[in-house]
A and B are shown apart, each in its own frame.
Chain A
């Protein structure tokens, strides 16, 4: 990935990925909501050696702007061969249970906006017969649990969408990489007490990039989560529904 569009560039995992890409001398088009924060990430990337950095502050829940956003990225970098889709919200499960509005925000941000963006991007990459689409999903999408099934559903739906997209784009030489991080120590999880399973954003970013370089399909980062989720998926539903997870 030499010319990369990063969606949700101010998230912790995206920032760490941007640093690694910058150190490789990639050109970057950074998208985030907060202009000042985005500027801080852009300056950091420039100083660390990115060939070119442009940024734009937009709310990705404004679906109507997606087409022109992708146009702008193509124009700014003179083409695109990589996308890192990293925007998303954790939401609050209790809130979501009480109100459809809260549920809808999670689904719109994590699933619908991603689908809208990937629809535009997949068509361009299919036409140019090249490129890598990297999407940050979550282990939470592997099985619905009472503690966060709304978030989990948004990521689970995303996973299925990406499987289909991968299937469709395989013949066009476009890689679709689903990255499933476990617990990551970021501002998004600042309120949660940390244990040994929490990984740093840097570690996740390294895993993400090596998966992208190898054009993998689905990866768990860190790898231990493949095993953990295998176990969690294997528990029979009759047992699972009685568990407190």
Chain B
């Protein structure tokens, strides 16, 4: 057993690890429960399995085939999105959907049904997964596709690694004419401003997302900068497209745990002020390589260490448009008043394109992601409050970024939870799964759903 942590560095739990090497090998049966583990870029405990075994998929990193004419790539589940980009981008193909880091595996992208800056146009990653193989602890192997074992397909996409091991998958890429993005930055003064610019941008831009100044309050609550962009057109006169190399971008590294005092209200608010005012209020256009556009944080290797040894809690929620303004204003106000600065807060809209995954997180509305340095009770109580607001607004919280949601919240956020549970492999489990299913739920799911839901019991009590 060794202590392992996920990207948020909280919690730290004891577990065994077992590397996987060949996709045709039988599933290991080490005794106790197992959970596949990709590159550990989930923040909380959904990629951890305290007391059990993690099946490390990093060794399943072989490509199987790539058709440069159709853009269909087949690869083992441990292949990273970075590897796919290095293969595909120089040949005119790109990921149909990509999260904000390229250091995630294809298996991890399926299990969390990840979303990107183009959800309003493209939906989630799962929509482009044409087929995959699922290996279960009973020794069975199934090829799953929308028209082949469709139940297993729907359960596994967004299925948090609980339905079995994905050994390989086939993904449909999308064509690009060059690796550059034509990007525009538009400042907005508050939440209403964001909603307006975001809706308007969706019409003409494939990619949108906004950085928000989480310390702004009152009339300025929700002010920030919206980034929108499209892949640059084929002949973009006069710009140096010839230099279309892939940047290898490990520019900076956080060498050690930063002492907690580096991140305080003052430093974050100074940063946010400078960042916001850098724009001097006007939209700005520029051409940028896809790497800094999609993966700005990847350039700072190990940035999760700036929060120090106790780690941090991520909080990402989505709320429907009908309640978005009020709920988000409350969430931003509360986190600002809580005095616990979120270094990076991101707002984005989700469109109405449905995902094939039953437990998929994205749904139509507005999503907000924030991280909070872990300062014990105080932080927990704040995030618990944000969770409550989300719940009352009829929204949902993202399991990939969670270390604390209650069983009641989980059930409220994921109405297909019971149907999904029937597909969970009996030998698979995770710290997250045990947390949100401590025992059979002592209430009816139907009556528990919706804005009228009762307050969740204190999370600290549950643990």
Contact = CB atoms under 8 A, between A and B. Distances in A.
Interface of A: 34, 36-37, 40-41, 43-44, 46-48, 187, 190
Interface string B5-47: 0000000000000010111100000000000000000000000
Interface residues of B, number: 14
Nearest to B59: A187
Contacts of B19: 187, 190
A37 B22 contact: yes
Interface in B34-87: 59, 62-66, 75-76, 87
A190 B58 CA distance: 14
Nearest to B66: A47
B64 A187 contact: no
A34 B65 CA distance: 20
Contacts of B76: 40
B22 to A, nearest CB: 5
Contacts of A34: 22
Contacts of A40: 22-24, 62, 64, 76
A40 B65 CA distance: 10
B24 A41 contact: no
Contact of B63 (A48, A187, A190): A48
B64 A47 contact: yes
Contacts of A48: 63, 87
Nearest to B65: A47
B21 to A, nearest CB: 5
Given A47-B87, A48-B87, A36 B22 contact: yes
Nearest to B24: A36
Contact of A41 (B59, B62, B66, B75): B62
A190 B64 CA distance: 25
Interface of B: 19, 21-24, 59, 62-66, 75-76, 87
A211 B29 CA distance: 41
Contacts of A47: 63-66, 75, 87
A47 B64 CA distance: 6
A150 B19 CA distance: 27
B62 A187 contact: no
A37 B59 CA distance: 13
A40 to B, nearest CB: 5
24 contacts: A34-B22, A36-B24, A37-B22, A37-B24, A40-B22, A40-B24, A40-B62, A40-B64, A40-B76, A41-B62, A43-B62, A43-B64, A43-B65, A44-B62, A46-B65, A47-B63, A47-B65, A47-B66, A47-B75, A48-B63, A48-B87, A187-B19, A187-B59, A190-B19
A46 B65 CA distance: 8
Given A40-B24, A40-B64, 17 more contacts: A34-B22, A37-B22, A40-B62, A40-B76, A41-B62, A43-B62, A43-B65, A44-B64, A46-B65, A47-B63, A47-B64, A47-B65, A47-B66, A47-B75, A47-B87, A187-B59, A190-B19
B334 to A, nearest CB: 44
Nearest to A35: B24
Contacts of B21: 187
A181 B63 CA distance: 26
A36 B26 CA distance: 13
Contacts of A41: 62
Nearest to A43: B64
Contacts of B63: 43-44, 47-48
Nearest to A41: B62
Nearest to B83: A48
Contacts of B23: 40
Nearest to A42: B62
B91 to A, nearest CB: 10
A222 B223 CA distance: 51
A44 B22 CA distance: 13
Contacts of B65: 43, 46-47
A41 B63 CA distance: 9
A46 B66 CA distance: 9
A40 B76 CA distance: 9
Nearest to A193: B2
Nearest to A36: B24
B30 to A, nearest CB: 13
A187 B19 CA distance: 8
Nearest to A49: B87
Looking at A34, A41, A47, which has the most chain B CB atoms within 10 Å of its CB?
A: A47
A190 B19 CA distance: 8
A64 B230 CA distance: 61
A36 B168 CA distance: 14
A47 B76 CA distance: 12
A77 to B, nearest CB: 21
